[in-house]
Amino acid sequence: MSPVTVSANALYTDLSAYYDLMCADIDYHSQSHGVRRLHQLFGNKGQRHLDLACGTGPHLRHFIDFGYQCSGLDIHQPMLDRAKLRCPEAQLSLQNMAEFTVNEPVDLITCFLYSIHYSASIKMLTACINRAYHALAPSGMLCFNGVDKQKINNHSFTQHSTHNDGSLFTFRSGWNYEGTGEQQWLKLRIEKQDQGHTQVWDDQHPMVAVSFNELVTVLQPYFDVHIFEHDYHTITPWDKKSGNAIFVCIKK
């Protein structure tokens, strides 16, 4: 039987239901604990936390358990609805990263899973960084992970499968950059196999493409910037060779 391809609109409608399955192999605790250690070393010792593009709230849950006063924002209300179930203590809001506001300054802003790239242009990325700067208390910290457009391998992807409610789900994602311009793509495929019937969701998300040098140029007017290897278990300075890194940015 040939697979049925479902439209991108259906993907957006259903993604909140599949999001936790899609991210089932992510070690949220290690990521959260790693950033907490960075905040203890570089931050202002405050406990007010904001997670940008918080999704269904798995990182928020860990920071709440660490003792932080947490808030989160996302542009998809179904994601926030699930985050509220997971994190009833958190203050959640439907906002765009490039335009967000806060009721009071926060001490730590996080943006996990390369979500900083959801700013679809350098202009929007700069606006997001500007909003983060104004939302932070003195010596507050912005922490996110990024990918260097010059080191993207268009043939590389990650994939995992999992069973849920009698169906087999296979999730595949990878970066694609054409080599010019300030836009790259996150290509995503979800396959659901159930009793011989296969549904396929194919989509690609436009995301901002920057080199790390360009990213530092955008950040430096607002922050002192420290770059580390993309390893949440250790704190190791970036070797300037890898294409993924963790950015720790302290408000000037």
Residue 157 sits in a domain whose CATH number is 2.20.130.10
Q: Are residues 80 and 104 in the same domain?
A: yes
Q: Are residues 78 and 143 in the same domain?
A: yes
Q: Are residues 196 and 174 in the same domain?
A: yes
**In a structure prediction context, what are the per-residue pLDDT tens digits for the chain, which is 252 residues long?**
445 444 444 554 556 677 888 888 899 999 999 999 999 999 999 999 999 999 999 999 999 999 999 999 999 999 999 999 999 999 999 999 999 999 999 999 999 999 999 998 999 999 999 999 999 999 999 999 999 999 999 999 999 999 988 999 999 999 999 999 999 999 999 898 988 899 888 888 899 999 999 999 999 999 999 999 999 999 999 999 999 999 999 999
Q: Are residues 164 and 117 in the same domain?
A: no
Q: Are residues 33 and 84 in the same domain?
A: yes
Q: Are residues 245 and 142 in the same domain?
A: yes
For 37-40, the CB contacts below 8 A with 24+ separation are 37/235, 38/141, 38/143, 38/228, 38/235, 38/246, 38/248, 39/107, 39/108, 39/141, 39/143
Structural domain boundaries enclosing 34: 28-148+209-251
Q: What is the pTM of this model?
A: 0.93
Domain count, the chain: 2
